[in-house]
Amino acid sequence: MTSPAPTLLVIAHGSRDPRHAATVAALCARARSLRAGLRVEAAFLDFNAPRVGQVLDRLAAEGTRTAHDIVALPLLLTRAFHAKADIPAVLREATARHPGLRVRQGRVLGPSPLLTQALERRLYEAGLRPGDRRSTGVVLASAGSTDPEAIAVIAEIAREWRHTGWCAVRPAFASASLPRTQDAVRALRAEGARRVAVAPYVIAPGRLPDRIAHGAREAGADVLAGVLGPAPELARLLLQRYDEAAEARARDLTALTA
C-alpha cells in the first residue's frame, strides 16, 4: 500500500508589502496545479499570517498521517541566515510542542538551471529579444546578504550564466553587499555593452525589489525584468526540492526499520 504524500509547507520570509503574500499564494497555487492531490500550505517567518508555528500547530491538531508528515521548504534563493538559523529554530520549537510531527527541512531553491530559465523568461517578457543576447549585458540583481556563502553563490551564478551567450553578466545587490544595481548597469555601459538588462533574482515584490527597480531606472537600463514570482519554472523547482526531501526522508525511515 502506498503511503500518503507528505504535506508541502512553503516557508516565505514575509513582507509589509501585500504583493509579497499574494505572490507566494500564486506560486503555491501553481505548484498544486502541477501535482494533483498534493497538499501545499504556505507560512511566513514575519509580517504576514499565518506564521510557521501557527500552521504547524494546526497540522498537529488534525491528527492525520498526511498532516503530521511534512516537508518544509524555504522559499529562499540562497542558503543564508534565514535558512541556516531562523527556519530550523521555528521548526524545532514546533516539533518540541508536538512530538508527533515529522518535519524535514528541504534545500533552498537556488542555484538551479530552472531559476536561470525563469530569469530569461522574465527578460523576454520585458521586451528583450532572443537575437539581442550577444550584445546584451545583464545585471543579476539580488536582495543581498551579509553571508559570504550566499554572496559567493550569486557571483557563481553570474559566471555560469555568462557562458550561455550573454555579452556579460554582473552580480549586484539591493542591500548588505556591493555593487548596487545602478553601479553595475553603469559598469556594463562603460565596458561597451550595447544593451543593458536588469534581471531581479528575487521571488516576490517588496522593498528590496523596488530598490533594484529604482536603481535600474536611475542608471538607464534598457530592460527591467519582473520578479520571478509564480513562474512555471519556479513551481517545478519547488516540487523538485519537495521530491528530494521526501525521498531522503523515505530512505531514512527504511534504514531505521531495516
- Domain positions in the chain are 7-109+231-257, 127-224
Between CA 169 and CA 191 the distance in angstroms is 12
CB atoms within 10 A of CB 164: 11
Q: What is the pLDDT along the chain (258 residues), one digit of tens a residue?
A: 467 899 999 999 999 999 999 999 999 999 999 999 999 999 999 999 999 999 999 999 998 877 799 999 999 999 988 999 999 999 999 999 999 999 999 999 999 999 999 999 999 999 999 899 999 999 999 999 999 999 999 999 999 999 999 999 999 999 999 999 999 999 999 999 999 999 999 999 999 999 999 999 999 999 999 999 999 999 999 999 999 999 998 887 666 665
* Those residues with Cβ within 8 angstroms of residue 152's Cβ, 6 or more apart along the chain or in another chain: none
Query: What residue type is assigned to position 107 of the chain?
Result: R
43, 52, 210, 213, 217 from 17: Cα distances, Å: 16, 18, 11, 15, 21
Equal CATH topology for 7-109+231-257 and 127-224: yes
Between CA 193 and CA 170 the distance in angstroms is 12
CATH of domain 127-224: 3.40.50.1400
Cβ-contact 118, 149 below 8 angstroms: no
- Please give the pLDDT value at position 8: 98
15, 64, 148, 153 from 79: Cα distances, Å: 19, 31, 10, 9
- Report how far Cα 252 is from the mean position of its chain's Cα atoms: 26
Cβ-contact 218, 212 below 8 angstroms: no
Cβ-contact 204, 19 below 8 angstroms: yes
Is 0.85 surpassed by the pTM of this model? yes
How, if at all, do strands 223-224 and 102-105 pair? unpaired
Cβ-contact 225, 36 below 8 angstroms: no
CATH of domain 7-109+231-257: 3.40.50.1400
Q: Which three cell numbers stand for residue 153?
A: 553563490
